[in-house]
Amino acid sequence: MQVYKVFMKILRSKMGIAITYLAIFLFIGIYSANNSPNQGNFSENSAGIVVNDLDKSGASKALIDYLGKTNKMSEGAPSDREMLDGIYYNPSRYYLTIKEGFEQRLADGETDGILAHAAQDGSYYESLVGSKIDLYLTTAKAYIAAGNSAEDALSKAAEALEKKTEVNIISEKAEGFAQMEGYFKFIPYIFLSVFVFALCPVIMAMTKTDIKNRIFSSSISPKRFLLENALGALSFMAVVYLLVIILIPVFAFKTDITADMKIAWLNCLAFTVFCASLVLLISNLVSSEPLISLIGNIISLGMSFICGVFVPLQYLDGSVKTIAAFLPAYWYEILVSALAGTNGQVYSTSLAVKCILIQFLFAIALFAATLAVMKAREAKTTHNA
């Protein structure tokens, strides 16, 4: 384990920078995790609803009041054209038409076709408001069945539902993970920085041509040399992963280990594997330490900016997002948002699988590129068979 030992020794000389980055990150991560949850979520979960009330009954009034508790309400009777423009420019706009006979038909236990709406198709806000209304009407129907008038049933339903927290109604997903979103969002930046800045110089030092020649004239096999180096890099990554992804959330934030948290861990694991590939590629391509800092900064800052690490995804321009889709951090952030129920992302298992798989594919692609670089190099100075 001579090679491994020295790998760790040289790595120790890079600990200062690694710890600095981690400390800054933890400060920012903990700060944003502690400050975002309620306020942040409230605004994310509120839509701007424009109501066209054609029924003008007690029941329609009750529905509008209920929605008004968590959304910005306004009245109006926009044309189709106006509605289209409205939702085009504002994804959180929701146009609700309460049809004539709403109260009457609800009293008859009918819920289909008594409302109409326009919103961005399949958007987060469409499902947010839609599910809220559905839940509300279904609950009210139960009260009507129990003999209440439509108006009474609606106000009782509102009361009953109010007891549940807002977060619960909107998305079951948000509960365990939402408070950690701010923390997990920053992981790509911190992992890219820490791994590139700490590991690349070490790998470079270990495999500098002169040193490598010297080592390969000794009785150690190249395979063993590679293995011990890989072990060195992996143990560092494992420690950082354990500390940042598991120990701090569980012990410092006291988060529950929910199914969502486990998905988030998996998401981070995929990103870590990508980082490992990237580190390998950079240390094979770059030969000077100052250049590593430069390239490390370009990659970590650049990828973080366009993939929504610093700026929430929803504020990013469409073309930026198109570019970002070719970067793994984007898919990492999509899954984080979906788990937290923010940025217009709705969680599904297939989305999680997709996001994680894409990150692994990036890792494999970079690894293949590294092998190609190594092969090309070796063609110049090969061992004889």
Q: Tell me the closest approach of the beta carbon of residue 24 to other proteins, in angstroms.
A: 24
- Residue 220 touches other proteins, criterion: CB under 8 A: yes
Query: In this complex, which beta carbon is closest to other proteins, that of residue 163 or of residue 383?
Result: 383
- Residue 210 touches other proteins, criterion: CB under 8 A: yes
Exactly one of 6, 107, 169, 248 binds other proteins (CB under 8 A); that residue is 6
Give the integer Cα–Cα distance in Å for 169 and 8. Answer: 50
Q: Are 304 and 327 in contact (CB under 8 A)?
A: no
Q: Tell me the closest approach of the beta carbon of residue 1 to other proteins, in angstroms.
A: 9
Exactly one of 74, 213, 288, 322 binds other proteins (CB under 8 A); that residue is 213
Give the integer Cα–Cα distance in Å for 58 and 62. Answer: 6
Phi and psi at 211, nearest 5°, equal -65, -40
- Residue 381 touches other proteins, criterion: CB under 8 A: yes
First-to-last alpha carbon distance for the chain, in angstroms, is 27
Number of residues interacting with other proteins: please give it, by CB under 8 A. Answer: 25
Sequence-distant (≥ 6) Cβ neighbours of residue 306 within 8 angstroms: 316, 320, 323, 324, 327, 330
Instruction: Name the segment binding other proteins (CB under 8 A); options: 5-13, 119-127, 153-161, 179-187.
Output: 5-13
- Residue 13 touches other proteins, criterion: CB under 8 A: yes
- Residue 205 touches other proteins, criterion: CB under 8 A: yes
Q: Assign 3-class secondary structure to 151-201.
A: HHHHHHHHHHHHHCCHHHHHCCCHHHHHHHHHHHHCHHHHHHHHHHHHHHH
Exactly one of 81, 163, 254, 383 binds other proteins (CB under 8 A); that residue is 383
- Residue 218 touches other proteins, criterion: CB under 8 A: yes
Exactly one of 30, 160, 215, 365 binds other proteins (CB under 8 A); that residue is 215
- Residue 369 touches other proteins, criterion: CB under 8 A: no
Instruction: Name the segment binding other proteins (CB under 8 A); options: 3-11, 269-277, 316-324, 334-342.
Output: 3-11
- Residue 246 touches other proteins, criterion: CB under 8 A: no
Give the integer Cα–Cα distance in Å for 321 and 325. Answer: 6
Helices (H), ranges, the chain: 2-12, 15-35, 37-44, 58-68, 80-89, 102-107, 124-145, 150-163, 166-170, 174-177, 181-185, 187-207, 209-216, 222-241, 259-285, 289-306, 318-324, 328-340, 349-380
Exactly one of 211, 242, 250, 325 binds other proteins (CB under 8 A); that residue is 211
Exactly one of 42, 216, 310, 326 binds other proteins (CB under 8 A); that residue is 216
Q: Rule CB under 8 A: which residues touch other proteins? A: 2, 5-6, 9-10, 13, 205, 208, 210-211, 213-222, 381-385
